[in-house]
Structure 1
Amino acid sequence: MLTIYHVKGTRSVRVIWVCEELNVPYQVEVIDFSPEYRASAEWRAKSPTGKVPAMTDGDLTMFESGAMAEYVLDRYGYGKLQPSPGTLAAAHCRQWCWFAEATFARPLGEIVNHRRVAPNGELVDFVIEDCKARARTCIDAIEGVVATSPYLVGGTFSLADIMNGYTLMLADNFGVLTDDHPHTMEYYRRLGERPAFQVAREAG
């Protein structure tokens, strides 16, 4: 059985969400998020950088949430949540999946890191505002699609929506997702109505 090593609200939400959508059996193991445990040999054997999440499936051990989600689809999805391979829709699905982490999540992660390393909590306002501005540019890109389509790829719910749905959750937490993007707000609301997303958000 799949084991997802998880801390509430982290990127393992994506993997749990995929499993819930597909009705794939899995178990969640909530880990100790302390710096000491994440630096331990036990955890580094699963996640070499010490980050969350990680996943095991038999002899397989993986880290990186997007790769884990793709593995679950390839192994257990039987064509669900992804367009047919080699199609234009498949290319766009991959584009949006990579966008969710490589482009959209990056400035949001920089906000977290800045808050973590700022001495005595002395945040540099213009750094935070630059990160938020770059995140809003990413929401602009999503807005341009969901203004005319219920989902990001071909009007059909897919892994692209799961990957970006989690990043929108982060953006919402940081107050970056606002009424300035009404179609994205509605899109995120609809994603939030999915039982699988609700389970994933509350896990842990």
Structure 2
Amino acid sequence: MLKLFHVPKTRSTRIIWLCEELGVPLDIETVSFSPEFRMSPEWLTKNPVGKVPVLEDGELSMFESGAMVQYILDRYANGRLQPMAGTPDHALYMQWSWFGEATFARPLGEIVNHRRNFNPEIPEVVEEMVNRALLCVKAVNDAVEGKEFLLGEFTAADIMVGYSLMLCNQLIPSHSYDEANQYWARLCRMNGAVKAFGGLNPGSLSQ
């Protein structure tokens, strides 16, 4: 059985969400997010940079959430939640999956790290990262106009982007992108999202 080392509100929610949608059994062990735990010798053997999550499947151990998503799809999904490899739709699926982490999550992570390390924060730095994140929200907004999900049908790319939308909702109080708000509301109603976010009410991006 897959085993996930999990911290609420972190990228491990992507794995919970995906497995719930696929009906793939997942053993979840919640761990501490404290620096003491994450930089302990024991944890560094699982994740060499002291981050979360970690996924284990037998002898295999992984520490990158996007790679975990793709591994689960390729090994356990039987063609579900991703288009056929080598097709234009699969290229777009990969684009949005990478966008969710490499492009969208980056400025959000910079906001978190800045506020953690600088007290008081430097407003100009945070403003720049907020503007970059909102460009990503606009990209999502435009992509889902007239569609239920990024590719029309729900795929794991929506999970990858959905986590970043959740984080954006926590860090940036409001914006006026109605299509993105409606898309987020649809994601929040999915069984996998409810399971992944637990007691957290993802709410609306405009709140």
Counterpart in 2 of 1:169?
166
Q: How does 1:55-204 map to 2 (within 5 A)?
A: 55-118=55-118, 121-153=119-151, 155-175=152-172, 178=175, 180-202=176-198
Counterpart in 1 of 2:203?
none
Give the TM-score normalised by the residue count of structure 2.
0.94
CA distance in 2, matches of 1:6, 1:100: 19
Deviations 1:117-139 (CA, angstroms, capped at 9, x unpaired):
11xx2110111111100000011
Counterpart in 1 of 2:19?
19
2:195 aligned partner, one-letter code: V
CA distance in 2, matches of 1:117, 1:199: 32
Q: 1:35 to 1:76 in 2, by over 3 A?
A: same
CA distance in 2, matches of 1:177, 1:61: 38
Higher-RCO chain (CA-CA 8 Å, sequence separation at least 6)? 1
1:201 aligned partner, one-letter code: F
CA distance in 2, matches of 1:92, 1:13: 23
Deviation at 1:14, TM superposition (A): 0.3
1:191 aligned partner, one-letter code: L
Deviations 1:12-66 (CA, angstroms, capped at 9, x unpaired):
0001111000000011111122111111111111111000001101000001110
CA contact (8 A) 1:136 1:176 kept: no
Deviation at 1:200, TM superposition (A): 0.5
CA distance in 2, matches of 1:136, 1:36: 33
CA distance in 1, matches of 2:174, 2:133: 9
Q: 1:177 to 1:145 in 2, by over 3 A?
A: farther
Deviations 1:99-146 (CA, angstroms, capped at 9, x unpaired):
00100000000000001111xx21101111111000000111111111
CA contact (8 A) 1:2 1:56 kept: yes
CA distance in 1, matches of 2:199, 2:29: 10
- Secondary structure at 2:135's aligned position in 1? helix
CA distance in 1, matches of 2:43, 2:153: 37
Give the TM-score normalised by the residue count of structure 1.
0.95
CA distance in 1, matches of 2:97, 2:174: 19
Identity %: 48
Runs of 5+ unmatched residues, structure 2: 201-207
Figure out how many residues of one structure are paired with residues of the other and give that number: 200
- Secondary structure at 1:100's aligned position in 2? helix
Write out the 4+ residue segments of structure 1 that deviate beyond 6 Å after TM superposition.
none
Runs of 5+ unmatched residues, structure 1: none
Deviation at 1:203, TM superposition (A): 7.6
Deviations 1:61-110 (CA, angstroms, capped at 9, x unpaired):
00111000111111100000000111000000000000001000000000
